[in-house]
Amino acid sequence: MSQTASYFATTAKGMELILADELEQIGGTQVKAAAGGVYFDGDMEMALRVCLWSRLANRVLLPLARYSAQTPEQLYAGALKIDWSKHFDVSQTFAIDASIRRSKINHSRYAEQVIKDAIVDQFKELTDERPNVQREQPDIRINAYINEDKAILSLDLSGDSLHRRHYRAESVEAPLKENLAAAILIRAGWPKIAAEGGALYDPMCGSGTLLTEAAMMAGDIAPGLLREYYGFLAWKQFSPAIWQRLIKEAEYRREKGLDKIPPIMGSDISIKNAGIAKANIKAANLVWHVKAVSLPLSKVSPDETWTAGLFVVNPPYGERLGEIKQLEPLYQEVGSILKARFNGWQASVFTGNTELAFNIPLKSHKSYQLFNGAIPCKLFNFSVTPERHFEGQHASQQQYLGDNLKKALLPTPGEWSEGATMLANRLRKNIKKLKPWINNNNIHCYRLYDADLPEYALAIDIYQGEKKWVHVQEYEAPKTIDEAKSIQRLRDALAVMPEVLGIPSKQLSLKIRRRQKGSTQYEKQGTDGGFHEIQEGNARFLVNFKDYLDTGLFLDHRPIRQWIGENASGKQFLNLFAYTGAATVHAALGGATTSTTVDMSKTYLDWAKNNFELNNLNLDKHQLVRANCMEWLNKAIEEQKKYELIFIDPPTFSNSKRMENVFDIQRDHVELINNAAKLLSKKGTLIFSTNFRKFKLDEAALKGLKVENISRKTLSKDFERNPKIHYCWMLSIKH
């Protein structure tokens, strides 16, 4: 197969563009990035070269057929048309990997079985024998991708994910994938730094993946050189002569490149981790070029003989509040060490928690979005020079201001600016306007102000419990707004709110979404912290103003929860993406016979359990399930579960480690709603809501469902100024 063919190299989300650059450098033509990978053209040698040399790809696929597959019969017929005897024979093993998006065929294992049957039947017709299926390292691996009822069947030339370089003798908990480490280094500018002789230091090296990938890049070492298994090795059209020539070329380049590797060193406070890193470096045959030691962060420093290079680190992210709080000093220490000991270096910090990254007292000049599995992460690049330093302690992007606010930020009423007076008057006007509605409807928690004045881009929410709490969120100001003006307006708001709203400053929490610096910076402060009990109708909930991004109660969904409570009597209720279970509490108090509350977060489910107990609800009748909602739905369909009332309020994107794939509400809502509708009783009701402002419901794809847009009906008086706060639909089965 010397002629040119078209291929598709898969990769992780966020890495498509740099993979496209890499494929062009390797020699691919007609290179085009797409979601989840890159198309490219080339001959067999080019395809094999990509398998050997790509640092970023997961798999290299050779498409064999594209066809419509709305039914199992069509899927079978399309697979049967391929002459499989051109690719392998009956004595060889094979395996099929299927992935499906928005298709009538919605079970990947079933699709794999159908395609397998077609292949086996073809061989039995030709030879009266059948090839065997082998899941692990088959001779031939076939990839099936079914999207919107269109199937693409491809040969997987890589056979196994190319990120597996086979130098990882041992591993630490949650290690970086090798191709993600390579992407981090490329985005950090390491190839150029290494070419100029700059050193590399990783102070939290874990299993040494960044160190090893950095050495392989600097030494022109093919990432696939240690692999013994590829999907093309048993392929009938494979040319061993071409492959041996590529291997010899790679070995020659490695020998020449080893002398070019600059100093590369990593350290880890864990003796065990440092030992694992050493073992992996040895397995990669780089023991003379990369060093790993056990060393606390406080002792980290570069050798005085090194040329300033790249300081790169993948610190822990933290999932729970306690973990995040404990990690803030760690990020601050990273910044302090950079300023004190790595002046003149470039630094890159890769983290899944951008809030923590803003504890580093340096100005980032570039950031990139990448994904560690399903976790959205960012790579922050810094130049460690005095002019990039922040004066004083650097504040987190999300801060809470309370009793100990700097006096400079709290001018007395007599010193209010004209803008502060204007804001105070608007707050008083809103209080007067909302008061009758609040009293007549027994409202305890509500939005008082939502960027009513363009100059004061704040959302101000009131929570009335044993005390009155004021929760303030500052919307990110446009880049065209002068930072000094933005800070002054925030000072105005802080000046007027305690007095106008009649609260001490410790009962005010403020989430700031802007970096602060110099004398204008706010120190991170605490409110009283912890959980506080509030009332909503006949339900009681625990809210938290300090410890989480959201308080535990979405105020704009109050009317939806109220409707659920009024219509749940005698019904089985399902709450998907349930957050802290507030909707379920209303359903249970409204007389739901049973309920199922599904969320992937243990933190939120524990919170929901506390909400249930606060309302004296019998947990025997109200089940809490920790699961990926999409996977749980498939299982519930198989078990033929039925519900008379279903509420779905999914996130725009999922950022959970427990999800294999990233959840995208716009892309995945049809599959989500259609699957949930399979659990709906004949006369049942499904409520679907989203806060994604650019969301478009694909009503045409929701076949068999009656759809009613109730967005306007679910807006209460305190949110009527912002009709796009959420979208909401009521769905039922057409009769």
- Residue 425 domain-assigned? yes
Identify whether residues 596 and 464 lie together within a single domain.
no
Considering the domain architecture, whether residues 136 and 218 belong to the same structural domain is answered as no
26-30, 350-354, 391-395, 610-614: which has the minimum mean pLDDT?
A: 391-395
Whether 372 and 412 map to the same domain: the answer is: no
Cα 594–Cα 598–Cα 603 angle in degrees, nearest 5: 120
**488 and 419 within one domain:** yes
Residue-by-residue DSSP string for 147-182:
ETTEEEEEEESSSS-TT--S--SS--SSPPPHHHHH
Question: If pLDDT is split at 50, 70 and 90, which confidence band does 406 have?
Answer: very low
* Host H or E run for residue 127: helix 108-127
Q: What is the pLDDT of residues 522-575, one digit of tens each?
A: 233 333 347 899 999 999 999 998 777 789 999 999 999 999 999 999 999 999
CATH, residue 141: 3.30.2130.30
Tens of pLDDT, residue by residue over 85-144, are 999 999 999 999 999 998 999 899 999 999 999 999 999 999 999 999 998 999 999 999
Does 164 fall in a domain? no
Q: Mean of the pLDDT values across residues 713-730?
A: 91
- Per-residue pLDDT band for 278 (boundaries 50, 70, 90) equals very high
Percent of the chain at pLDDT exceeding 90:
71
| Whole-number pLDDT of residue 317 | 83
Same domain? For 297 and 440 the reply is no
- Which domain CATH number covers 443? 3.30.750.80
Res 142: pLDDT:
97
Task: Return the C-alpha torsion angle 304, 310, 311, 316, nearest 10.
Answer: -160
Question: Cα–Cα distance between 531 and 588 in angstroms, integer?
Answer: 22
Decide if 275 is inside a domain: yes
> 264 Cβ partners below 8 Å, 6+ apart?
199, 200, 211, 214, 215, 218, 289, 290, 291
Domain check: are 95 and 204 in the same one? no
Say whether both 16 and 80 belong to one domain.
yes
> Rounded to an integer, what distance in angstroms lies between the CA atom of residue 450 and that of residue 487?
18
Is residue 428 in a domain?
A: yes
Report CA torsion sign: 264, 270, 274, 277. Answer: negative
Q: Compute the residue count for the chain.
A: 735
Query: Quick one: pLDDT at residue 517?
Result: 36
319 falls in which pLDDT band (50, 70, 90)? Answer: low
Q: What tokens were used for 449?
A: 């102000």
Q: Which H/E stretch holds residue 328?
A: helix 321-341
Q: Does residue 568 sit in the same domain as residue 620?
A: yes
Give me the torsion for CA of 114, 118, 124, 127, rounded to 10°: -140
- Among 281-285, 482-486, 656-660, the range scoring the smallest mean pLDDT is 656-660
What are the backbone dihedrals phi and psi of residue 591, each rounded to the nearest 5 degrees, phi first? 105, 15
Average pLDDT over residues 273-278: 94
Where do we find the tokens 């030992």? 275
Q: Which domain holds residue 90?
A: 5-156
Please say if the pLDDT value at position 657 is more than 60. Answer: no
Residue whose pair of structure tokens reads 């230091």 in the numeric block: 201
Q: Are 300 and 337 in contact (CB under 8 A)?
A: yes
Structural domain includes residue 537: no
pLDDT at 703: 87
pLDDT computed for residue 671 by the predictor: 93
Beta bridge partners of 153: 65, 144
d(Cα 605, Cα 554) in Å, to the nearest integer? 16
Mean pLDDT of the residues in the chain: 88
User: How many structural domains compose the chain?
Assistant: 4
Task: Say if residue 275 is in the same domain as residue 208.
Answer: yes
Q: Is residue 377 part of a domain?
A: yes
- Residues 462-520 have pLDDT tens digits of 999 888 999 998 876 655 566 667 777 887 888 889 889 998 888 888 876 444 333 33
User: Which stretches does DSSP call E strand in 528-653?
Assistant: 531-536, 539-544, 572-576, 594-599, 622-626, 643-648
- Does any domain span residue 469? yes
Helices and strands: H and E segment counts in the chain: 18, 27
Arithmetic mean of pLDDT, 71-81? 97
Percent of the chain with pLDDT over 70: 89
pLDDT at residue 174 tops 70: no
Does residue 525 lie within any of the structural domains? no
Last residue of a domain, one of 500, 520, 540: 520
Q: Locate tokens 């040698």: which residue?
A: 45
Question: Where residue 358 falls among pLDDT bands split at 50, 70, 90?
Answer: confident
Q: Quick one: pLDDT at residue 106?
A: 87
Report the pLDDT averaged over residues 11-37.
Answer: 95
One domain, residues 589 and 720? yes
Pair 594, 698 in one domain: yes
Residues 6+ apart with CB under 8 A from 46: 26, 27, 28, 40
CA–CA–CA angle 373, 664, 359 (5° rounding): 55
User: Model confidence at 411, in pLDDT bands (50, 70, 90)?
Assistant: very low
More confident residue, 460 or 505: 460
Is 506 or 716 the better-scoring residue by pLDDT? 716
Q: Mapped to the 3 state alphabet, what secondary structure does 242-280 carry?
A: HHHHHHHHHHHHHHHHHHHCCCEEEEECCHHHHHHHHHH
Res. 398: pLDDT tops 50: no
Instruction: Say whether both 454 and 566 belong to one domain.
Output: no
